[in-house]
Structure 1
Amino acid sequence: MHRGKVEVLLITSRDTGRWVIPKGWPMLDKCPASTAQQEAWEEAGVKGDVAEDSVGTFGYDKVLKPGQSLPCRVAVYSLRVGELKRKYPEDKMRSRKWFKYSKAARLVAEPELRGLLMALPVLLDIEPAVA
């Protein structure tokens, strides 16, 4: 939330430069929410409080090498940003930018992620669902 509006911090992917959200592989020593929090730090330089429950999931094909991909299912967690650091593990590999949730939805390639981003005000219980 920024000035009463839902905002999303998108980052660029390392390979294609397209807009994405931080995501990563499960970590044996962390629950899914803590893993999301760790990935947000490593990929976007974000420190803050993560919600324990996901707001939803989306699927995409992770390209491992040319001609080889792996279907993945990503659980998405909201994180209230407390700090945005200038120096973080992947700061030289990625760009980051804040967007209004609806613009962020238009910028991502994955249709299910687009739908999740468009629904954020309702999912976060900020705006009532329209009947």
Structure 2
Amino acid sequence: MLEILRHWSPRADPAPTPRQSGALPYTLVEGRVVFLLVTSRRTGRWIFPKGSISSGMTGWDSAAKEAMEEAGVLGTVSQEPLGSYQISDKGVLVDVDLYPLKVETQLDEWDEMHQRLRHWVLLAEARRLLAERSLVRLAEKLHRSLTTDRVRQ
């Protein structure tokens, strides 16, 4: 029996982690990158818009939909995620892919306007307001990418 146990290796494939998508809304104002934050409905903490990927939609289309519903903004969304981060949703770990969204229109009225606040911030204020360090790192990554691209032009 000991010989069998020495060679036995239980192998269970882990269940796939659920995925969501989110938008990292930004624009350029007088050459400076500004980000749009929203408050979460449950805790009131500052976050970027995110949610479950709608059936039949790509991750980036779903991210744009979340930005419109939660923040009231429309724009051009990247088809490549900037990165991802994990959240705990009711005790389950969820991976969230975050897609940059260059805001072109800000609506005066939107679906969740009475449930959330929205706030435009520079990177320094985003660092202060975002409780999730992974969100700060993704904002910094996008900021570096946008400012490096401008310097090269």
1:40-89 Cα offsets, whole Å, 9 max, x none, are: 00000001111111111111212x3xxxx221111111111111111111
Report what 1:30 is aligned to: 57
- Structure with greater proportional helix content: 2
Which one has a bigger Cα radius of gyration? 2
* Cα distance in structure 1, aligned partners of 2:144 and 2:114: 34
* Cα distance in structure 2, aligned partners of 1:121 and 1:39: 21
* Cα distance in structure 2, aligned partners of 1:121 and 1:9: 13
Structure 2's unaligned 5+ residue stretches are: 1-27
Question: What is the percentage of aligned positions where both structures have the same residue?
Answer: 34
Structure 1's unaligned 5+ residue stretches are: none
Please report the TM-score for the alignment, with normalisation by the length of structure 2. 0.75
Closer, same or farther in 2 for the Cα pair 1:123/1:71, shift >3 Å?
A: farther
* Cα distance in structure 2, aligned partners of 1:81 and 1:26: 20
Q: 2:80 aligns with which of 28, 53, 62?
A: 53
Report what 2:123 is aligned to: 101
Aligned-residue Cα RMSD (Å) equals 1.4
1:75-130 Cα offsets, whole Å, 9 max, x none, are: 11111111111111100000000000232132112121111112222234x327xx
Q: 1:13 aligns with which of 21, 40, 47?
A: 40
How many residues of Structure 1 are paired with residues of Structure 2 in the alignment?
Answer: 122
* Cα distance in structure 1, aligned partners of 2:145 and 2:85: 14
Instruction: Name the amino acid aligned to 1:26.
Output: I
